[in-house]
Structure 1
Amino acid sequence: MNTDVTQREFPWGPASDGLDQPYWDGLLAGELRLQRCGNCAEWIWGPQWICGHCHTFDPGWEATPAIGTVYSWARSHYPFISELADRVPYVTVLVELPGAGNRRVLGILTGDDTDIRIGDPVVGHIELDEGATWPLLRWRRREGAQA
């Protein structure tokens, strides 16, 4: 892992313990990867060293479709993360992923964020901000889809 100081100017990327490294590598490869237990097939998020369902160690990582529905959302009018200061107000969504055992992941909603509702169908897309080392999963509402 490269620990160059210039990479630390953005507050996202792999944790120092390496547990979530496959998630970030997946984003670099253009896919959403979550943990899945090879023993009981339980989906796991956030990353864990052990499956909470069957207690098997070292769950694997699988690609899953970045398609889901808005489970919850919040509009931020203050830039809690300085790298998002030029984007306020912005909407953070908690997205439920039916293709991954209904696990929920966070992200920023891009595009039209007016009248956002719980249950809105969304699709993930991966963006690499200028100067950042690691991309982020962001969400937009699916065209023509109704909740």
Structure 2
Amino acid sequence: MTAATVEVPWGPAPDGIDTPYWEGLRAGELRLQRCRDCATWIFSPQSVCSECHGFDLDWQAVEPVGTVYSWSRSWYPYIEELSDRMPYISVLVELAHAGGRRVLGLLADDVEKTPRIGERVVGVFEHTDGEPWPLLRWRRADAAATDETGGEH
């Protein structure tokens, strides 16, 4: 490993099945698989559609907007790279624009404020200098609107 190479515990799997997802994050898009035969949205990446068992799967960009389906606050650094961000909140987000498919991620704002089931969240792409792959984080919709405008709505 060279000094310029950074190893992180995220990024494409060795078999490459999820590489389009990670490339989407680099491009500022949330990409999920979708079956061309039955139109089922798929996440986590698979080789076969779990609905119709078809093999004709495509990657499509999805608007990174959804609602909190479930959440958990962690005080223990299960992921060593998050030890400086304790506590952190994991959220399971239901994506309205992807047939209700759910995606797991971290809440990027105010971990002292308890999330509400059904609360709207917006995906943001976190690029960190020196890391090869960005991460998808979730912000409360009201916090994301404030960040974009610089003020309250």
So what's the TM-score if we normalise by structure 1?
0.90
Equivalent position of 1:7 in the other structure: 6
Equivalent position of 1:85 in the other structure: 83
Render the CA deviation track for 1:4-45: whole Å, top value 9, x for unaligned.
79332x100000001000000000000000000111111011
Equivalent position of 1:139 in the other structure: 138
So what's the TM-score if we normalise by structure 2?
0.87
8 Å contact from structure 2 (residues 37, 56) kept in 1 = no
Equivalent position of 1:129 in the other structure: 128
1:70 aligns with 2:68: yes
Render the CA deviation track for 1:57-115: whole Å, top value 9, x for unaligned.
14100000100000010111011111111000011100000100111111110112302
Give SS of 1:53's match.
Answer: coil
Equivalent position of 1:35 in the other structure: 33
- What are the ranges of 5 or more consecutive residues in structure 1 without an aligned counterpart? none
Equivalent position of 1:48 in the other structure: 46
Structure 1 stretches of 4+ moved >4 Å: none
Task: Tell which deviates more after alignment, 12-21 or 104-113.
Answer: 104-113
Q: Distance in 2 between matches of 1:27 and 1:4?
A: 24
Task: Tell which deviates more after alignment, 76-85 or 25-34.
Answer: 76-85
8 Å contact from structure 2 (residues 70, 93) kept in 1 = yes
Q: How many residues align?
A: 142
Give SS of 2:97's match.
Answer: helix
CA-based RMSD of the aligned residues comes to 1.8
Q: Distance in 2 between matches of 1:4 and 1:44?
A: 36
Q: Distance in 2 between matches of 1:84 and 1:109?
A: 12
- What are the ranges of 5 or more consecutive residues in structure 2 without an aligned counterpart? 146-153
Q: Distance in 2 between matches of 1:115 and 1:76?
A: 12
Give 1:36's aligned amino acid: R
Q: Distance in 2 between matches of 1:110 and 1:47?
A: 24
Q: % of aligned pairs identical?
A: 59
